[in-house]
Structure 1
Amino acid sequence: MLKLGSCTALEHAVRCFFRAGVRDVRVVAGYRAETVAEAVKPLGVRVVVNQYFDKGMYSSVQAGVRTLEPEVRAFFLLPADYPLVRKSTVGKMLECFHTGSKGIVYPVFQGRRGHPPLISARYAGDIINSFPAGGLRELLGKYEHDALGVPVSDEAVLLDMDTPEDYEVLLQYLKNRAVPTLEECRSILRECRVSELVWKHSHRVAGLALLLVKHLKKAGAALDEDLVLAGALLHDVARSQPDHAGAGARLLEARGYPLVAKVVAAHMDIDSSEDMPLSEPEVVFLADKMIKDQSMIPIPERFAVMLEMYKDDRQACEAVLRRLKQALLIKRKVEKLLGRPLESVCRAKTGI
């Protein structure tokens, strides 16, 4: 019943499944079962009381599985101390279960299995009637031939709160949850199978954008460093698709990152004004226009190449000139804040 932000950990876990379209959610309660039942009543979940909770966590697994009806095809098992799993993770696991042939599906982040597993109901009887010393992990280990690991860009599948230190990590993760972490960004890039060129370009842009943000924040700019990093790393996540800025934004919106989606959506075309405070999308737009492939080049030179490339396409040239105008406007805004030429900042080594 521990609080994580405005909700309890249990509420976070329950709502994850509801948001992913799982309507039948059951909470197994042992110690202080009445208190738990009262707390989750507004959520509309079914509470299963485990009278043998003193025998350990596996007894709660068994209590929950015993309540499954014959028509149930599969079930998730999520310990309450893994409360911040994303709905996109649950949705991806369901898709893999329904379209594949494996009976046990695990979420995998950075090569490590996490929670919750999705388990075929054909293993329900074995779970109920077995008492493995190593609990559920030992039992499921017998069925590795029927297991599938699904790569997800969700670090929360590994984040529990067994200790006070773990709890503090979760609190910080929740605070920054609207923006993917560095490793989550890299996981998204891998999952979307970006090319090596896009990978290197995105990291180069991110390194430059971070350098700019650090200097701009010292100069008094109110910028979110994590948002700039994520937006820069993911700006070309859909590079192989038509309208890749829009496609990337839609992809990130669907994954629960609307703030990052706005940055990505604006990295090709942006409406800037010298009268408005400098924004995160402007920083990423500028950094991207200063990097060609992996090399930093002057903005006019970058656009001169593009104008030459599209010299026979009037509409394309107009779009290039519009972007050049915006890049130079943002450059002036940055230099006004810094009080010095942009090039003097960019001489420093950049990287992440």
Structure 2
Amino acid sequence: MTGTAANLAALVLAAGFSSRMGRLKSLLPLGEATVIERSIGSFLEAGVQDVRVVLGHRSEEIARVLEASGVTTIMNHEYEEGMYSSIRAAVRSLEPKVEAFFLLPGDLPLVRWQTVQHLTTIFAESGKRIIYPCFNGERGHPPIISTRYAQHILSWHGEGGLRALLNQYEDDALDIEIADPGVLLDMDTPEDYQRAVQWFKRGYVPAVQECMDLLEELKVDGRIVEHGRAVAQLARKWAMMLNQCGCRLNLDLIQAAGLLHDLAKGKPDHARVGADTLRERGYHAVAEIVAGHMDLGPEADAAIDERAILFLADKMVQGVRRIPLEERFQEKQKRFAAEPEILKNINRRLNHALAIKARIENLLGFTIETMEPRG
């Protein structure tokens, strides 16, 4: 079992009526592309070149959109019989050289390409014949299914769908927990679609468990994880108090950025590398904050925002211990005392941090080290 992208196919189902949506889901815009283009995009970006889209209802319209992508289209003339008829049509198209296939309903456009790559690796290494991506313990899409079951799928009566068939082979299956809520986020209704649109507009903000799953997936050192927890806790605490004073800070965004800000620690220019990693996963808003956690640049004198909060919190936590700003910078000032340019940058960051701290304390009315009223 090799399980490389070269001998895997991706089967995307887009033959249905979209009756609950009221509009053809596949052709709805999502960012700069359509839903169906997003659905096939994760496979193409992950290196899966054999992508097949099953069409039925309004097939010609969808096929025109897909022409430039190079994917194969399969016509399901029995699409009115439901999704399982599309699964049969897709599986029937597979040649003997195909070892296994991904299966994705076309209304799940938010699966990340990294998820596809990860599942491909697990399939190659695990020896299992069915791999399910899971988020928070719930199975999602796209599973990888060995073509060993192709004839079983074709001869299955269809009752209970593919899930009922595969339930018979649980010993051959493996659940993989992955930090990608997109494996569960389908688009059945207009409300689902609007949530997906907002995801693209603002950039998805991961919940705490998603952050921890990502840190585990990237094998981030435990000490760095604990530092992130401490920074996130402090930054969120300040943000909550500032919001009570009239600020409008996004607490979830600050917490996620605090947990993830050092995920690339140890690599050159780790703030940029970490931000790039987060952008690749769709966490654009978090990435912008992480990118500035080492140095805010000239905008440091602007109003208090999420970037400023994280920048300061990171400077006032060493390991998991809260320390005064001057103490945090003192060691570096001594180490680079004979190197004027480096020392200049160190002092500039210290001054930025002191200015942010002063603005926060003016808003809150007390010193943030002691949480006591300012004298």
- Counterpart of 1:203 in structure 2 is 229
Query: Would you say 1:159 and 2:182 are equivalent positions?
Result: no
Query: Structure 1 pair 252/320, CA: closer, same or farther in 2 (3 Å)?
Result: farther
Q: 2:349 aligns with which of 311, 326, 330?
A: 326
Aligned residues: 345
Q: CA deviation at 1:283?
A: 3.0
Summarize the alignment of residues 63-74 of structure 1 with structure 2, pairs less than 5 Å apart: 63-74=89-100
Query: Structure 1 pair 231/26, CA: closer, same or farther in 2 (3 Å)?
Result: same
Question: Alignment partner of 2:50: what SS?
Answer: coil
- Counterpart of 2:103 in structure 1 is 77
Query: Structure 1 pair 343/208, CA: closer, same or farther in 2 (3 Å)?
Result: farther
Q: 2:57 aligns with which of 31, 36, 40?
A: 31
Residue by residue over 1:48-95, the C-alpha shift from the partner in whole angstroms, topping out at 9 and shown as x without a partner, is 121222222111101111111221122111012211111111111112
Provide the alpha-carbon RMSD of the alignment: 3.6
TM-score, length basis structure 2 = 0.76
- Counterpart of 1:12 in structure 2 is 38
Q: Is the 8 A contact 1:215 1:338 kept in 2?
A: no
Residue by residue over 1:1-35, the C-alpha shift from the partner in whole angstroms, topping out at 9 and shown as x without a partner, is 33253433222102222222222221112223333
Unmatched runs of 5 consecutive residues or more in structure 1? none
Query: Structure 1 pair 275/238, CA: closer, same or farther in 2 (3 Å)?
Result: closer
Q: Is the 8 A contact 1:102 1:147 kept in 2?
A: yes
- Counterpart of 2:6 in structure 1 is none
Residue by residue over 1:76-121, the C-alpha shift from the partner in whole angstroms, topping out at 9 and shown as x without a partner, is 1101221111111111111222333222111122222210011122
Q: Is the 8 A contact 1:331 1:342 kept in 2?
A: no
Q: Is the 8 A contact 2:245 2:364 kept in 1?
A: no
Residue by residue over 1:225-274, the C-alpha shift from the partner in whole angstroms, topping out at 9 and shown as x without a partner, is 65543321112324476875566445435545466445445534564565
Cα distance in structure 2, aligned partners of 1:12 and 1:270 = 34
Query: Structure 1 pair 130/188, CA: closer, same or farther in 2 (3 Å)?
Result: same
Range moving further from structure 2, 277-286 or 336-345: 336-345
Q: Is the 8 A contact 2:245 2:363 kept in 1?
A: no
Residue by residue over 1:284-310, the C-alpha shift from the partner in whole angstroms, topping out at 9 and shown as x without a partner, is 221111123434332223445x46xx9
Query: Structure 1 pair 312/297, CA: closer, same or farther in 2 (3 Å)?
Result: closer
Read off the aligned partner of 1:192 and give its amino acid letter: L
TM-score, length basis structure 1 = 0.80
Question: Alignment partner of 2:44: what SS?
Answer: helix
Q: Is the 8 A contact 1:272 1:330 kept in 2?
A: no
Query: Would you say 1:175 and 2:201 are equivalent positions?
Result: yes
Query: Structure 1 pair 216/5, CA: closer, same or farther in 2 (3 Å)?
Result: farther
Question: Alignment partner of 2:95: what SS?
Answer: coil
Q: 2:166 aligns with which of 135, 140, 143?
A: 140
- Counterpart of 2:313 in structure 1 is 287
Q: CA deviation at 1:40?
A: 3.0
Question: Alignment partner of 1:71: what SS?
Answer: coil
Read off the aligned partner of 1:285 and give its amino acid letter: F
Q: CA deviation at 1:278?
A: 5.9
Range moving further from structure 2, 197-206 or 154-163: 197-206
Question: Alignment partner of 1:77: what SS?
Answer: strand
- Counterpart of 2:83 in structure 1 is 57
Query: Structure 1 pair 242/171, CA: closer, same or farther in 2 (3 Å)?
Result: closer
Read off the aligned partner of 1:144 and give its amino acid letter: E
Unmatched runs of 5 consecutive residues or more in structure 2? 1-23
Query: Would you say 1:94 and 2:120 are equivalent positions?
Result: yes
Percent identity, aligned pairs only? 41
Q: CA deviation at 1:143?
A: 1.9
Question: Alignment partner of 2:111: what SS?
Answer: coil
Range moving further from structure 2, 46-55 or 211-220: 211-220
